[in-house]
Structure 1
Amino acid sequence: MSNTVMLIPMFFPFLASTLLGMIKFATKEKRNIFVASIIIANFLFLLLIIYLKGTIDVHLFMVNNFLDLYFKIDKLGILFAMLASTLWIFTAFYSFSYMTHEGKEKRFFVFFTFTLGITISIAFAGNLFTFYVFYELLTLSTFPLVIHSGTREALESGKKYLIYSFGGATLVLLGMILLFSISQDMTFIPNGVFRNIFIDNSKLLLSIYMILFIGFGVKAALVPFHSWLPSAMVAPTPVSALLHAVAVVKAGVFAIIRVSYYIFGSKTLENINGNLYISFLIIFTILLGSLLALHQENLKKRLAYSTVSQLGYILLGVVLLNENALIGGILHLVNHAFIKILLFFCAGAIYFTTGKKTIGEIKGIGKKMPITMWCFAIATFSLIGIPPANGFVSKWYLAAGGLNSNNVLFVIILLVSAFLTAAYLLPIVIAAFFQGDKDINNTENEPPLSMLLPIILLTAIVVLLGLFPNHVLNYIESIAKTIV
């Protein structure tokens, strides 16, 4: 397989989004067919590359060991790329109907398609420099999506998003320079670049790790650098869904996994106690995200603060530095992606159909939108971690990882957070099905099929990932075994 073929899933969306912006479509239907064809074709290209297993790395542009645009396909990258590509398909079809009342649809789909290429490039970045380049391009490509409505509130939120993102990027750049000065290598290698290098200055290593962790942690909504995320809820629901499920916050988490296990390595982090200091921020993130979610009346903002807390779960799995914890963290990255995009799709369906945004306004809506709200309820049970839902499986491994580390406190934190998750999500389900006017008109008023079908299919995936987790679990175990 040639290098050109390997790069198709990364660069095809860039070309396609350019064509999308240039072509004048006779009807919206033809434009939607074009967008759907791009997203599905790119998914098939990705499957082809994975199936052929030919050339797995390529130096696209190299000046020196630092300035090296290098791509490499490995198991972790495949998992992230497949997750992104799958959810992009669901979001595309959902957006065809949803974006009709948001306007500026063509501009939305241009940046939507362009961002897919950037996300796949992040997945297959072979070193920290390449990752950084596309990580910053991700900020620039999602910024127009965040400010899509053009309102004052949207522009202020977009400004905040840029300030936080570029602030984190500055820290990452500093960390990269310091890292390269002592290692002369930023390639993603299982067990890290320090496995054959002895560095006597543990304080310097710890400082570099914390700088990189916090820098990437900004996009991962690590408290206290999280406030950009709820503010970004002014974006259209498909954008909110992608921000929370895979495109931005999960790119931050993915970066931290790469830095922790492919740059530093678990052994080095243990030697410098790199996980000890960060764990306090993570615990704070888990608890504060849940507590703040309790006080949000706006449905999307409640889900946003929920994401802050749930991302803490994944980061906890990363810093515990044992196999079960890492399996649980990566599995929760996948499970949370499907759960959270489903919850946002349901919230968007409610707003699209009824115009209601707050929890107080949706009392009794389960009688008018039973399919949507039952799907919301199933996603709620999954996020809480009620067996046999998929959220239970990942949280079980996280708890086992905490016990393996002889740290009962982490297990207690997980249990407390599960109760808090129930406290901020179950009232929504109760309000939808058991409150409201008893004489309410029971005429069903579900969203259009192009929105409802992705919701139903995502619900089925959430259930199946809980009932039959072994395929994904075995794949993640094979990743964890090579890096812990």
Structure 2
Amino acid sequence: MISYHFPVFILMLLLGFAVVIPLHRKPFGKSFVVKMFSVLGLAFILAFAELLVVIYGEAYSYTFGSYQGGIGIEFLVDEFSALMTLVVITLSILILAYSVKDLEHEIASSKMYSYYTLVFLMLFSIIGMIFTNDIFNLYVFVEALSITSVAIIAIKNKKDTLMASMKYLLMGAIGSVTVLMGFALIYMVTGHLNMSLIFAEINEVWEQYPINILLAMGFILTGFGIKAAIFPLHNWLPDAHSSAPTPSSALLSGLVVKAYVFSIAKMMYRVIGQEITINIGISDYILVFAVLSMVMGSLFALSQTDIKRRLAYSSVAQIGYIFLGLGLGTELGLSAALFHVISHAFMKSALFLSAGSIIYYTGNRNVRKMDGIGYKMPITMAVFTIGVLGMIGIPGTSGFMSKWYLGLAVLDGGHPELLIVILLSSFLNALYYLPVVVSAFLRETPLEMHRSSLPQSMKISMAVVGLGSVVIGFYPSMIMNIIEAAVSTFIGI
């Protein structure tokens, strides 16, 4: 059946277009944009069809070539991987629609084709990480994603972006090495690279090699923790997000970081397994770092006056929420974490795109100088406000449902004290977000506009992303039902 090959079609479509982009010789313009969105549109159709196939059928493994399962390259296509692929492509379409006009004022015109080549390679890597069921190929996709992530920051070619990308590259290299060491230890214990085979083998031998497995997961969680920017391994993120072009910031926070978090979930539940994760104490360590990230990320955000740096530190806190769900070691906790992966992708993309629009239109990045901007940019500030309300956890937004599910999960997991941490983090979110909204709508101060207008493509793109957060907030079950069905492929595979 042709639908069996949809994941590969999506990857080949993205990789093929990335290869073709540098061959363009005409100046960047409308014809290229049409081609780009035609490719993304086809990828969206395939991803949506794949999700329907899995929902109304069942999860399946896809093996490449004539190799038997477990020997060659293998993809595991389940409900959440199909859903996550659709989310990645959907947000990519919206962010890239925003980028067409925004990048004209962010990077040199001669680098436009290079930028989109990097973005398509990035999307290829993210979706590969989502589908792969092999730790070696996971590492290959991780390396490809690391390189492209650094490049879409450095492409701006300014002192601050070059410094930020160098810091990201160095810390990312440390993360990659530690991840590889963890994978090597797992291979030494089990003799397998296939995740399903590792899971079966490790449950037989883990009592003989508890230290090896604990060390392996320590290396893996540290490496992916650097790349996901969990506190205190987050140092690269504020500089990278604040100095990068706005579309890059949205891609990094909304999609790239989530790919690494999803990889952690795979390693904890699909490779090591729920029981071993709890028995060797991994869950307890993760909960500690989750709490630190939720609180410290918010405290650091309070002191930032640059709007993009404030959003960057907020991302550190939000990653803590996802780690909180993962660290509970329960089905409900994992479901809540995966829900927040999608919820935060929409909320933070909306915030970065609206913040980028403010910078584009006014030339101002200082949150203390945004009095009355809501009257000049009502659509932009409406989208920003939706993102803010979601971060705080106001009903009607996806952020509220994330915190609701996480609250239920911590109670179910026997950690009612963590409710206090969730409430404290939400209070801190309100402290550093609400003053921006209040000053934008309740104070009238003449503002100097940097440009005469905001392009329609930028307005429409960020409005749709903000609307997505609201839709998920009012209809969370359409996401949560799929996630709950997919959790069985993580726990008790």
Same fold (TM over 0.5): yes
Size of the alignment, in residue pairs? 480
- 1:203, distance to aligned residue in structure 2 (A): 2.8
Q: 1:245 aligns to what?
A: 254
CA distance in 1, matches of 2:43, 2:342: 20
Q: Which residue of 1 aligns with 2:303?
A: 295
CA distance in 2, matches of 1:223, 1:27: 40
* Distance in 2, Cα, partners of 1:483 & 1:5: 22
Deviation at 1:97, TM superposition (A): 1.0
TM-score (normalised: structure 1): 0.93
Judge conservation of contact 2:154–2:165 (CA < 8 Å) in 1: yes
1:482 shift after superposition: 4.5
Alignment of 1:459 onto 2:450: no
Other structure's SS at 2:199 match: coil
Match of 1:156 in 2: 163
- Give, as a single letter, the amino acid of the residue that structure 2 aligns with 1:78: A
Contact 2:15 2:124 in 1 (8 A): yes
Write the mapping of 1:219-230 to structure 2, written as runs, cut at 5 A: 219-230=227-238
Q: Which residue of 2 aligns with 1:74?
A: 78
1:195-344 superposed matches below 5 A: 196-200=203-207, 201-233=209-241, 234-246=243-255, 248-344=256-352
Select the residue among 98, 104, 117 that pairs with 1:110.
117
Q: 1:191 to 1:364 in 2, by over 3 A?
A: farther
Correspondences of 1:179-194 after superposition (within 5 Å): 179-189=186-196, 192-194=199-201
Mark the CA change 1:245 to 1:5 in structure 2 (over 3 Å): closer, same or farther.
closer
> What 5-or-longer segments of structure 2 have no aligned partner?
none
Residue range with higher mean Cα deviation, 324-333 or 42-51: 42-51
In 2, the alpha carbon distance for the partners of 1:15 and 1:134 equals: 16
Partner of 1:384: 392
Moved more, 194-203 or 53-62: 53-62
Which amino acid in 1 is paired with 2:21?
Answer: L
Measured after TM superposition, the shift of residue 39 of structure 1 is 1.4
CA shift for structure 1 position 410? 1.4
Contact 2:51 2:83 in 1 (8 A): no
Give the drift of 1:63: 12
Question: Which is further off, 72-81 or 225-234?
Answer: 72-81
Q: Structure 1 residue 468 and structure 2 residue 475: aligned?
A: yes
Q: Does 1:91 align with 2:100?
A: no
Residue matched to 2:43? 42
Q: Which residue among 358, 365, 370 is the counterpart of 1:357?
A: 365
Match of 1:449 in 2: 456
Query: Which amino acid counterpart does residue 28 of structure 1 have in structure 2?
Result: G
DSSP 3-state at the match of 2:38: helix
1:345 pairs, out of 328, 347, 353, with 353
Q: 1:325, 1:399 within 8 Å by CA — same for their partners in 2?
A: no
Residue 30 of structure 1 and its aligned partner are, at CA, apart by 1.1
For 2:195, give the aligned amino acid.
F
The CA deviation string for residues 419-470 of structure 1, in whole angstroms up to 9 with x for no partner, is 0111111111112112342x6699x965211000011111221111111111
Identity among equivalent positions (%) equals 31
- The answer on whether the counterparts of 1:218 and 1:252 sit within 8 Å (CA) in structure 2 is no
8 Å Cα contact 1:122-1:134 kept in structure 2: yes
Q: Return the letter of the residue paired with 1:432.
A: A
Change over 3 Å in CA distance of 1:62–1:228 after alignment to 2: farther
The answer to whether the 8 Å contact 2:258/2:341 transfers is yes
Q: What residue is the counterpart of 1:32 in the other structure? A: 33
Q: Does the aligned pair in 2 maintain the 1:393–1:466 contact within 8 Å? A: yes
Instruction: Determine which of 49, 56, 64 is the counterpart of 1:59.
Output: 64
Quote how far apart the aligned CAs of 1:44 are: 1.8
Q: Is the alpha carbon distance of 1:368 and 1:411 closer, same or farther for their aligned partners in structure 2, counting shifts above 3 Å? A: same
Give the deviation of 1:184 after TM superposition. 1.9
* Larger mean Cα displacement after TM superposition, 57-66 or 24-33: 57-66
Question: SS of the residue aligned with 1:72?
Answer: strand
SS at match of 2:160: helix
Matching residue of 1:136: 143
Equivalent in the alignment of 1:120:
127
Report if aligned partners of 1:175, 1:208 keep a CA contact under 8 Å in 2: yes
**Change in CA separation of 1:311 and 1:6 when aligned onto 2, cut-off 3 Å:** closer
- The question of whether the paired residues in 2 share the 8 Å contact of 1:371 and 1:446 is answered with no
Counterpart of 2:16?
Answer: 15
Partner of 1:145: 152
Change (3 A) 1:273 1:434: same
Distance across 2 between alignment mates of 1:223 and 1:180: 28
Task: After superposing the two structures, state which structure 1 stretch, 108-117 or 223-232, moved more.
Answer: 108-117
User: Aligned pair 1:423/2:431, yes or no?
Assistant: yes
Q: Which amino acid aligns with 2:64?
A: H
Q: Are the equivalent residues in 1 in contact too, given 2:44–2:90 (CA < 8 A)?
A: yes
1:300–1:347 CA contact under 8 A, matched in 2: yes
Distance 1:291 1:100 in 2: 35
Contact 1:146 1:239 in 2 (8 A): yes
Cα deviation, 1:293-323, whole Å, max 9, x if unaligned, reads 0011000010000000000100110110112
User: CA–CA distance in 1 between the matches of 2:118 and 2:489?
Assistant: 36
Any idea what the Cα deviations from partners look like across 1:19-72, whole Å, max 9, x if unmatched?
111022356111211211121122223234444569741135989978x53323
Secondary structure of 1:386's partner?
Answer: coil
Q: 1:149-172 deviations in whole A, cap 9, x for unaligned?
A: 111221111111111111011111
Residue 195 of structure 1, CA deviation = 6.3
Does the 8 A contact of 1:186 with 1:193 survive in 2? Answer: no
| Gap change, CA 1:218 and 1:192, over 3 Å in 2 | same
Which letter does structure 2 place at the counterpart of 1:21?
P
Counterpart secondary structure, 2:454: coil
Q: CA contact under 8 A between 2:270 and 2:489: conserved in structure 1? A: no
Secondary structure at the aligned position of 1:126 is classed as coil
Contact residue 194 and residue 268 of structure 1 kept, 8 A? no
Gap change, CA 1:297 and 1:210, over 3 Å in 2: same
Could you tell me whether the CA contact under 8 Å between 2:286 and 2:323 is conserved in 1? no
